[in-house]
C-alpha cells in the first residue's frame, strides 16, 4: 500500500479511536463506522486484500451490533454486557489504528489479523447464538 494511504488510514483511524474513547457507549458505534467507511474510500484509490478484509469485518461488526441494538427488545433480552462490548470494540479499533501507524511487517500483520478475529468474535457474541455461548462461558473476553 502506498505510504500516503497508510498515513491517511492511520490518521482517520486514530481520530475515530480517540472519539470512541471519549464518547458515551451508544455514540462509540457511530465513530467505529469510520473504519469501514475510510477503508472503502482508500480501496477506491488502491486495491489491497488486507484492507478489503478490514472493510468487510468492520462493516459486519457494525451491522451486527447495530441490528441487535435496533431490534425491538432484543438488546435487552440477550444477556449482553454492552459496556464490555463497547470497551472491546474500542480496543479492537485501537489495534487497527496502531497497525496503520506502525511499519508493516509479519508481526504487525499477525496482530491485525488477531484484531479482526476479535471483531468477528464481538459481532458473533451479540447475535442470539453468540450471546448464548457467551452466557455458557464458551466465548471469553
The predicted-structure confidence for 10-21, as pLDDT tens digits, reads as follows 999 999 999 999
pTM to 2 decimals? 0.92
Quick check: 46 pLDDT over 90?
Answer: yes
User: In terms of C-beta density within 10 A (0-12 exposed, 13-18 middle, 19 or more buried), how is residue 3 classed?
Assistant: exposed
pLDDT at residue 26, as a whole number: 81
Q: Say what percent of the chain tops pLDDT 90.
A: 77
78 backbone dihedrals φ, ψ, rounded to 5°? -70, 140
Domain boundaries, the chain: 3-136
Q: Band of the pLDDT at 75, cuts 50, 70, 90?
A: low
Amino acid at each position: 500500500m502506498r505510504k500516503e494511504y497508510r498515513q491517511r488510514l492511520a490518521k482517520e483511524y486514530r481520530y475515530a479511536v480517540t472519539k470512541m474513547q471519549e464518547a458515551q457507549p451508544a455514540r462509540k458505534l457511530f465513530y467505529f463506522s469510520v473504519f469501514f467507511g475510510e477503508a472503502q474510500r482508500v480501496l477506491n484509490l488502491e486495491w489491497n486484500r488486507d484492507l478489503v478484509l478490514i472493510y468487510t469485518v468492520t462493516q459486519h461488526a457494525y451491522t451486527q451490533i447495530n441490528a441487535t441494538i435496533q431490534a425491538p427488545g432484543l438488546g435487552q433480552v440477550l444477556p449482553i454486557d454492552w459496556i464490555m462490548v463497547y470497551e472491546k470494540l474500542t480496543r479492537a479499533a485501537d489495534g487497527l489504528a496502531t497497525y496503520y501507524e506502525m511499519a508493516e511487517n509479519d508481526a504487525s500483520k499477525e496482530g491485525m489479523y488477531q484484531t479482526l478475529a476479535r471483531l468477528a468474535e464481538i459481532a458473533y457474541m451479540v447475535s442470539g447464538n453468540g450471546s448464548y455461548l457467551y452466557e455458557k462461558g464458551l466465548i471469553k473476553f
